[in-house]
Amino acid sequence: MRRIRFGVIGCGNVSNNYYMPHIAKNHELVAVCDVVAERAKRSAELWGARKWYKDPDKLLRDPEVEAVVITTSHESHSELAVRAAEEGKHFILQKPMALSLEDARRVVDSVKRNSIKAVIEPSDALLSPLTKVIERELKELGQHCYSIWHTGHSGPTWSEAFFDDKRGGGVIYDLAVYDVARLVTLFGLPSRVSATGSIVLKQRLILKPEEVTAAIRRDTYGRGIYYFYDLKPSIRVEVSAFDNVVGVLEYEAGGLAVTLANYTTFTQLHMPPIQIYCTEGSLAVLNPHEPLMKVISKEGVKTLGKKEIGEVRLYYHCSIDHLAECIVEDTEPLPSVEWGYRVTRVLLALDEAAKSGKVVSLK
């Protein structure tokens, strides 16, 4: 398969940790862009991009760039995706797709209008062998009764945008999205959602912008080292977005799914991050990365590991390779804009429910 010529917009932690190294090794990194010019310059030097830009429109108009990866702060995702589509560029859009339903619809319409390929993150909800095995096992376990889904950590330190309700939207759009994406894939849209949210830490400490920029170098990202753990954040910022959320998704057939997401725990819960209980058995994902799964049914108890499930690759890498394959073979991506739109509907409903204290219908 021929190598696709990629550009990357947003030279922060996610792009330098995951997307750029994989593109540089397996495809072609033509150009990078960041509004902080020094980050773009350092990223280009680190990963061998031929060009760097401060203005995203210049990258999007670059005739050498076939596809772009958009990894900017949340509030700019949808606008950059629309602009990419209008320039005829295929794209991968980091989650969340948008912070409003109107903006999500604009992304869908622009992709269709311009006949380009688009992958919406997080793609592992559709591309990971783990999801496929869960789907297969559920067919033998009867009707979904209730399930518990948890994603949490102590929160990012490299940008204040995550904690700003207008710019990032908080933990719903950054972490709950992983489980919502899996739920939409496995069970479809819920009929209604309820949620409660809180701000546990009213202030946060983040890194200085120049520290984030300085981390883009060969002895950190270049060696695959997660450098931010070694730094002590010192800039105090106010938190206006939920950092602690519990949501309940109700399905027409009676099933209930509970999602827990937070930026406030030191470690994961002391229980499986995915638990699904059905009328004929249950399933628990003990470790989604190894992977390791336990299934209990009338047939007994079985444990599935890497041999039975397959290798769970980083979804960022899978997205790059999947988009490249779709471009070359002229097929439609599985994590499509329509799927992303459905995921966004649920995220927005959870946010609305948590803020209003009311149940939100998706019928």
Q: How far apart are CA 4 and CA 24, in angstroms?
A: 11
| Complete domains list, the chain, with CATH | 5-124+314-333 (3.40.50.720), 125-312+345-361 (3.30.360.10)
Check pLDDT > 90 for residue 38: yes
What would the DSSP string read from start to end of 199-219? -S-SEEEE--HHHHHHT-STT
What mean pLDDT is predicted for residues 331-339? 98
What distance in Å separates the CA atoms of residue 40 and residue 107, rounded to the nearest whole number? Answer: 25
Contacts of 348 (CB under 8 A, 6+ apart): 100, 101
Q: How far is CA 163 from the centre of its chain?
A: 17
**pLDDT band at residue 147, thresholds of 50, 70 and 90?**
very high
pLDDT recorded at residue 270: 72
Its sign, for the CA torsion 79, 84, 88, 93, is: negative
| CB 129, CB 311: distance < 8 Å | yes
pLDDT at 230: 75
pLDDT, position 330: 97
For residues 233 and 220, the model is more confident at 233
Task: Give the DSSP letter string of 34-61.
Answer: -SSHHHHHHHHHHHT-SEEESSHHHHHT
How does the average pLDDT of the chain come out, rounded?
95
Has residue 269 got a pLDDT over 70? no
Do residues 12 and 212 touch, judged by C-beta distance below 8 A? yes
- pLDDT at res. 157: 87
At 226 the pLDDT is 64
DSSP 3-state of 106: helix
243 vs 8: CA distance, rounded Å? 28
Q: Are 295 and 86 in contact (CB under 8 A)?
A: no
Supply the pTM of this predicted model.
0.94
Residue with tokens 């931010």: 228
d(CA 104, CA 169): 15
pLDDT the model gives residue 221? 78
Look at residue 362 in the predicted model and tell me its pLDDT.
96
Q: pLDDT at position 268, please?
A: 62
Contacts with 313 (C-beta within 8 Å, 6 or more apart), sequence order: 128
Q: What per-residue confidence (pLDDT) applies to 267? A: 65
Q: Are strands 256-262 and 144-152 parallel, antiparallel or unpaired?
A: parallel
Which one is predicted more confidently, 66 or 288? 66
Q: Is the pLDDT of residue 321 over 90?
A: yes
Helix (H, G, I), strand (E, B) or coil at 153: coil
Mean pLDDT confidence for 71-75: 96
Provide the pLDDT for residue 227: 65
Compute the average pLDDT of residues 94-110.
Answer: 98
The per-residue b/e assignment along 212-228, b for 16 or more CB within 10 angstroms, e otherwise, is: bbbbbeeebbeeeeebb
Q: What is the pLDDT of residues 126-138, one digit of tens each?
A: 999 999 999 999 9
Specify the higher pLDDT residue, 166 or 227.
Answer: 166
The per-residue pLDDT for range 172-226, each reduced to its tens digit, is: 999 999 999 999 999 999 999 999 999 999 999 999 999 999 889 887 776 666 6
